[in-house]
Amino acid sequence: MATQRRILFHWLFLLVAALIPVVELALPGRLHFGDLLRPIFIMAMLGLGLNILTGFTGLLNLGVAAFMAVGAYSYAILTCDIYPFRLGFWPATLVTVLVGLTVGLLLGLPTIRLRGDYLAIVTLGFGEIVEDVLKNLDSITKGTQGINPLPSPSVFGYRFRPETYQPWYYLFLGILALLVLLNRNLHRSRIGRAWISIREDELASSCMGINPMKMKLLAFALGAAQCSLAGALWASYLGSSGEPGNYDFQVSIIAVCIVIVGGMGNVGGVLLGALVIMGFNSIVLETVTNFLKAHQLISSSNVFTSPGNWKYMLYGLALILMMRFRPEGLLPSKQLKAELHPPEPNVPPPAS
Amino acid sequence: MNILEISDLTVRFGGLTAVNAVSLDVSEKQIVSVIGPNGAGKTTLFNAITGLHEPTAGRICFNGTEACRPFGLATAMMLILIGLIAALSALLVVNVEPLWDTAITANYVYQQPFSWVKAARAASHYFAEQPGRRFIVPFLIGALTGLAGAYAIWSRTRRAPEVAARAGIARTFQNIRLFNQMTALDNVLLGMDSRLHTRFWHAALRLSLYWREREESRQQAMEILRFVNLLEDAHQLAENLSYGHQRRLEIARALAMQPRLLLLDEPAAGMNPAEAQDLMKLIHDIRNRGITVLLIEHHMPVVMGISDRIAVLDHGEKIAEGSPNEVRGDPRVIEAYLGKEHGDIPTA
């Protein structure tokens, strides 16, 4: 059975991901592969949130970094001991998700009737506004310094330490797996079907009795909640809310790239997109830079020779090549693939 | 009994009157056709019935009532809630920083226990001491903006397509509007959507209701696909179906809504005579299931063959109505389709 094979494949994938830190210990040398995977997990969560909005429902959102910032800052305010809340990891995360949900609804309510480019512009503006508010609301957000230090989370009585990455790795992997499960379940239910029908043809879908406003608001709330969850985990990982500039337009664009490169509207595709885009950033570029430095092929004084400085050029090139050769993404949903590669018309077999 | 009563319906787009004072009654379990030259206002009439266009004047009663959202207690509560949220947001925007300072920063000593009662008291003191412009003005502006905005959106979407659809009016489109990248089965399942009971948490956690309803709805959808003879195409993407099959899939999707009234907008367009024959039989079968059919069609053999009544539109006005035979002989209908002979100016 094809479905059984697919389920087996998913479990295998999870098993491999779970074994990476263990195998790494056994290997000689100091590999930090599992360590480097942590930001990838977080960006994958961000991508999943955006995927609900852009991939399923077809609402182009260029401001997901703002949701992430809202998550990171509310988590920081709730846990940091310079504020009176001082919640633990789980309650703070839960409240953060609820805050993200509310912010998503608040942004969704007035903008719900906008479509396409207009919505993209509004969300772009929202991203800028949130960044500026965080910069200027000095007494609450500590302006450009960000809120720090945050206490390390303790989960089920175990206190995390910044030096050992393995517990973090498993925490993020577990949450990511839960999110993937949630997104997949929604995608294959009447809710996902309604979202996709709105992406395809909003008018026809409303003539079928779907309330597009309700479904779009749901997408907004859920997408924002997932993005702010990513933000909360990011803050706990950094031990700081980060500064407002960390959540600028570039982060939103990277999230959009993850969704597009991976394959819009496909949960597995988003994971692959995060792995490719972020992996390229933190693993490939890093390794190449270290290699070149070790062999003294580049000097740090010359900005042009450092591969890290070519990052966005390379992203751009990758996007152009993607659009030319594989516009549906690396791992497309079968619907989009069909849209972008129409099958050959059936040629009747010649009469013999 | 009349299932649909249209009285003096006028739809205007700026200076253009697309439908002008049209009245039409459709009795239950009949097949009624609307014919007329291109641009006569037939599709606009359909759009008005299904809530896509707001009527400029006149009433459309389906099943004795107008298909629009009633203004009930829930609506009022929702409007007030949105107004309240907007008011509180406006209040916060103006006051958040000094409020935070007086209530939280001033009362919190690093890592000492924090008294929320004291903080709440400080906050209420803060508001009591503020001049009205920091308290009442933003609250009022927020509340008014929120209420007015929410009410504007609500009243504009009162007569939305989904309201008509949920009342029991299904339709197909002149230029086929299937969900192309969904399978035929998913298209039909989407038509069934408003009758499903699965909610968000059922779907997210895959509770037993999800599985049960999934199985039931799939079976029903397959049943409908068999009825329109598309069973073997169930797992094909809608856009890969042939033109005639797409037309029938659109009808299947509409039937999945279990409507009481089905509006078909030129279902036979682009069909060859054999396909049109099949379609006529299908429309007959639909009517025999107890569904009233309102039909726009140019294909005269189809119209004359299956209609119980025919209404003729020209330039937005209804010029004739009656049984196929009456309409066929009506001089005004002939005139609308073929034009007037020269010199044959009627003496009024």
Rounded to a whole number of angstroms, the distance from the CA of B133 to the nearest CA of chain A is 21
Rounded to a whole number of angstroms, the distance from the CA of A111 to the nearest CA of chain B is 11
- Name chain A contacts of B161, Cβ cutoff 8 Å: 203, 206-207
b/e map A40-69, b = 16+ CB within 10 Å? bbbbbbbbbbbbbbbbbbbbbbbbbbbbbb
- The SS3 assignment for A346 reads coil
- Name chain A contacts of B157, Cβ cutoff 8 Å: 213
Mean per-residue pLDDT, A177-186: 93
Chains A & B: contacts with CB separation below 8 Å: 124
β-strands B309-314, B16-27 pairing:
unpaired
A22 in any annotated domain: no
More confident residue, B254 or A154: B254
User: Mean pLDDT for chain B?
Assistant: 88
ipTM: 0.89
Of all residues in chain B, the percent with pLDDT exceeding 90 is 43
Q: What is the pLDDT of residue A242?
A: 85
Q: Report the distance separating Cα A68 and Cα A237, nearest Å.
A: 14
Indicate if the pLDDT at residue B145 is higher than 80. Answer: yes
More confident residue, A311 or A196: A196
Mean per-residue pLDDT, B156-180: 90
Of all residues in chain A, the percent with pLDDT exceeding 90 is 39
More confident residue, A82 or B249: B249
Q: What is the pLDDT of residue A350?
A: 47
Give me the phi and psi of B62, to 5 degrees please.
-110, 120
| A213–B85 C-beta distance less than 8 A | no
Band (pLDDT 50/70/90 cuts) for residue B348 is: very low
Mean per-residue pLDDT, B293-301: 89
A84 in any annotated domain: yes
Mean per-residue pLDDT, A297-302: 71
Indicate if the pLDDT at residue B289 is higher than 80. Answer: yes
Beta strand spans in chain B (E): 2-13, 16-27, 31-35, 57-62, 65-66, 169-171, 261-265, 292-296, 309-314, 317-322
Mean per-residue pLDDT, B96-125: 85
Indicate if the pLDDT at residue A191 is higher than 60. Answer: yes
| A194–B257 C-beta distance less than 8 A | no
Q: What is the pLDDT of residue A276?
A: 87
Q: What is the pLDDT of residue B155?
A: 85
Q: CA angle at residue A204 from A203 to A206, to 5 degrees?
A: 65
Q: What is the pLDDT of residue A54?
A: 92
Nearest C-alpha neighbor of A171 from the set A182, A159, A183: A159
A10 in any annotated domain: no
Compare CB distances from B166 to A191, A193, A209 and report the shortest one's residue.
Answer: A209
Q: What topology is assigned to B1-69+160-168+260-339 in CATH?
A: Rossmann fold (3.40.50)
Domain residue limits, chain B: 1-69+160-168+260-339, 73-156, 179-258
β-strands B261-265, B169-171 pairing:
parallel
A159 forms beta bridges with: A154
Q: What is the pLDDT of residue A317?
A: 85
Q: What is the pLDDT of residue A347?
A: 44
Q: What is the pLDDT of residue A351?
A: 44
- Name chain A contacts of B166, Cβ cutoff 8 Å: 209
Indicate if the pLDDT at residue A345 is higher than 50. Answer: no
A333 in any annotated domain: yes
Q: What is the pLDDT of residue A46?
A: 95
Mean per-residue pLDDT, A309-313: 80
The pTM for the full model equals 0.89
Q: What is the pLDDT of residue A92?
A: 94
- Name chain A contacts of B196, Cβ cutoff 8 Å: 190
A217 in any annotated domain: yes
Structure confidence by residue, pLDDT tens digits, A265-291: 888 889 988 988 888 877 788 778 888
Structure confidence by residue, pLDDT tens digits, B1-35: 789 999 999 999 988 999 999 999 999 999 999 99
Q: CATH number for the domain including A56?
A: 1.10.3470
Q: Report the distance separating Cα A249 and Cα A123, nearest Å.
A: 11
Band (pLDDT 50/70/90 cuts) for residue A113 is: confident
- Name chain B contacts of A79, Cβ cutoff 8 Å: none
Compare CB distances from B114 to A84, A204, A208 and report the shortest one's residue.
Answer: A84
Residue A80 CB coordination number (10 Å)? 21
Compare CB distances from B203 to A189, A336, A343 and report the shortest one's residue.
Answer: A189
Mean per-residue pLDDT, B154-170: 88
A202 in any annotated domain: yes
| B180–A208 C-beta distance less than 8 A | no
Band (pLDDT 50/70/90 cuts) for residue B112 is: confident
Cα distances (Å, whole numbers) of residue A274 to A13, B101, B171 = 15, 41, 42
Q: What is the pLDDT of residue A321?
A: 85
Contact B319, B312 (CB under 8 A): yes
- Name chain A contacts of B104, Cβ cutoff 8 Å: 83-84
Of all residues in chain B, the percent with pLDDT exceeding 70 is 97
Give me the phi and psi of A336, to 5 degrees please.
-65, -35
Indicate if the pLDDT at residue A160 is higher than 60. Answer: yes
Structure confidence by residue, pLDDT tens digits, A247-269: 989 899 889 989 988 888 888 88
User: Mean pLDDT for chain A?
Assistant: 85
User: Domain total for chain A?
Assistant: 1
Compare CB distances from B177 to A139, A204, A213 and report the shortest one's residue.
Answer: A204
Q: What is the pLDDT of residue A340?
A: 57
Q: What is the pLDDT of residue A150?
A: 87
Helix (H) or strand (E) holding A155: strand A154-155
Indicate if the pLDDT at residue A342 is higher than 60. Answer: no
Contact A106, A205 (CB under 8 A): no
Residue type, A215: M
A346 in any annotated domain: no
Q: What is the pLDDT of residue B67?
A: 79
Rounded to a whole number of angstroms, the distance from the CA of B31 to the nearest CA of chain A is 21
Mean per-residue pLDDT, B68-77: 87
Rounded to a whole number of angstroms, the distance from the CA of A72 to the nearest CA of chain B is 19
Residue A62 structural domain: 35-339
A262 in any annotated domain: yes
Least confident residue range of A25-29, A128-132, B217-221, B226-230: A25-29
A contact set with B (CB within 8 A): 81-84, 106, 109-110, 113, 137-140, 182, 185-186, 189-194, 196-197, 200-201, 203-213, 218, 335-336, 338-339, 342-343
- Name chain A contacts of B246, Cβ cutoff 8 Å: none
Q: What is the pLDDT of residue B54?
A: 87
| A196–B182 C-beta distance less than 8 A | yes
Q: What is the pLDDT of residue A300?
A: 67
Compare CB distances from A336 to B52, B82, B181 and report the shortest one's residue.
Answer: B181
Q: Which two tokens stand for residue A8?
A: 């087996």
Q: What is the pLDDT of residue A227?
A: 96
Indicate if the pLDDT at residue A43 is higher than 90. Answer: yes
Indicate if the pLDDT at residue B148 is higher than 90. Answer: yes
- Name chain A contacts of B101, Cβ cutoff 8 Å: 139
Mean per-residue pLDDT, A109-131: 90
Indicate if the pLDDT at residue B197 is higher than 60. Answer: yes
Nearest C-alpha neighbor of B249 from the set A337, A204, A189, A333: A204
Indicate if the pLDDT at residue A204 is higher than 80. Answer: yes
